[in-house]
């Protein structure tokens, strides 16, 4: 375990207590996709201050360091990767971009409710034709009088069904090909011309909601523009850096849950007259899992501390995300293997960890995209 301050340890313990005592008992209900349970947990996270840790006190935040926030994600992810992912999007991809890029009027209007968890944020970048090539988005934001008219569709939106505030990219310059023609906007749920539908059924993260946004001549006032025209892609890409550390942390939490479940099972499961933990084949699997988790922790904490120090951490964030998401899948595979046939049943949690881990190498840029980013930095 890396050295932590007393404050960081205290925050981690509070998050662990919340996860084990309040999230774990309702995990099966949450896993059924019950949005009422998800909303109740959101409200509780707000009461505990978990939705506002890295924000200034003037907006209701705790004004703590970045690593403290990641420690919370880690503890919540051990119990529910779905809830941790929802929190990650809310903080990393909505509230923090507003803090860093919003006008003072925008920050005063939105941040107090987001920081307190009274309102939920969603991040809308992906389109049916624009996934890894996010800069080719086709949602239009046409200048019209005192604002813009937006048309198009966004998909794969975490928190879509419960969100109140949406950060959305739209193409404001049709003449500019690619990402330079994109701008970012702050949309609210009750905007006329905007509709939200439930997304396709998912393999994992069943406990979190996701959906699609359809914009049909949705009018957006000029003061809802985030940052400047043509800077939307840059705003979103910068937010994805911290989002990548967040997904890396959630991945590590899943891997830790896999290891803990495997150690417990290996000590209890008897075969050939002894616990399977006595067999070297099982011991080697556990040793590899534990080593990979600690390696991921080092990458994550290093990236978090670089961010806190104000350094360029884009490469380190991609390295952490790439490695942690891949080892989450590896640890989940080994956990199912250690559990044998029981690991393939819903009676044990490792089958959920296996499903939840799979998306981690897709979120916030696929593993292939992370390789591209890392290589570009190395070749500079």
For the beta carbon of residue 144, count every other beta carbon within 10 angstroms: 12
Quickly list H helices, 91-160: 96-101, 104-115
For the beta carbon of residue 377, count every other beta carbon within 10 angstroms: 13
- The helix (run of H) or strand (run of E) holding residue 335 is helix 314-339
* Cβ-contact 83, 207 below 8 angstroms: yes
Interatomic CA distance for residues 252 and 142, integer angstroms? 42
- Dmax over CA atoms of the chain, in Å, equals 79
> Phi, psi (5° rounding) for residue 140?
-95, 140
**E-assigned strand segments in the chain:** 121-124, 140-144, 147-158, 165-171, 182-188, 194-198, 210-221, 225-226, 270-271, 274-275
Residues facing residue 271 across a β-bridge: 274
With b for 16 or more beta-carbon neighbours within 10 A and e for fewer, the 279-310 pattern comes to eeebeebbeebbebbeebbebbbbbbbbbeee
100 is catalytic: no
Interatomic CA distance for residues 164 and 166, integer angstroms? 7
**Encoded tokens for 330:** 């590896």
DSSP structural state of residue 334? H
* Cβ-contact 186, 167 below 8 angstroms: yes
For the beta carbon of residue 217, count every other beta carbon within 10 angstroms: 12
Q: Which of 74, 75, 316, 364 is catalytic?
A: 364
Active-site positions read: 364
């Amino acid at each position: 375990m890396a050295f932590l301050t007393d404050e960081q340890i205290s925050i981690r313990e509070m998050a662990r207590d919340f996860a084990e005592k309040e999230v774990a008992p309702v995990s099966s209900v949450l896993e059924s996709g019950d949005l009422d349970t998800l909303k109740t947990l959101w409200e509780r996270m707000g009461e505990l201050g978990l939705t506002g840790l890295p924000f200034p006190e003037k907006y209701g935040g705790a004004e703590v360091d970045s690593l403290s926030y990641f420690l919370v994600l880690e503890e919540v992810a051990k119990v529910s990767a779905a809830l941790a992912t929802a929190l990650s999007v809310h903080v990393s991809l909505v509230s923090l971009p507003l803090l860093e890029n919003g006008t003072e009027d925008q920050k005063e209007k939105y941040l107090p409710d987001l920081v307190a968890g009274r309102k939920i944020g969603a991040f809308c970048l992906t389109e049916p034709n624009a996934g890894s090539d996010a800069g080719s988005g086709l949602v239009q934001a046409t200048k019209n009088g005192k604002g813009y008219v937006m048309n198009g569709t966004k998909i794969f939106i975490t928190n879509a069904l419960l969100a109140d505030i949406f950060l959305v990219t739209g193409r404001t310059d049709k003449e500019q090909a690619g990402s330079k023609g994109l701008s970012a906007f702050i949309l609210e749920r009750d905007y006329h011309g905007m509709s939200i539908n439930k997304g396709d059924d998912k393999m994992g993260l069943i406990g979190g909601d996701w959906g699609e946004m359809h914009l049909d001549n949705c009018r957006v006032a000029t003061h809802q523009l985030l940052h400047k025209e043509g800077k939307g892609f840059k705003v979103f890409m910068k937010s994805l850096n911290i989002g990548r550390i967040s997904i890396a942390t959630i991945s590590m939490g899943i891997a830790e849950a896999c290891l803990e479940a495997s150690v417990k099972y290996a000590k209890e499961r008897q075969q050939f007259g002894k616990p399977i933990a006595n067999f070297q084949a099982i011991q080697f699997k556990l040793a590899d899992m534990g080593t990979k988790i600690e390696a991921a922790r080092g990458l994550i904490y290093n990236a978090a501390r670089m961010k806190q120090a104000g350094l360029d951490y884009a490469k380190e964030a991609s390295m952490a995300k790439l490695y942690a998401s891949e080892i989450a899948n590896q640890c989940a595979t080994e956990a199912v293997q250690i559990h044998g046939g029981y690991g393939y049943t819903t009676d044990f949690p490792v089958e959920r960890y296996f499903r939840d881990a799979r998306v981690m190498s897709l979120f916030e840029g696929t593993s292939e995209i992370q390789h591209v980013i890392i290589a570009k930095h190395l070749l500079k």
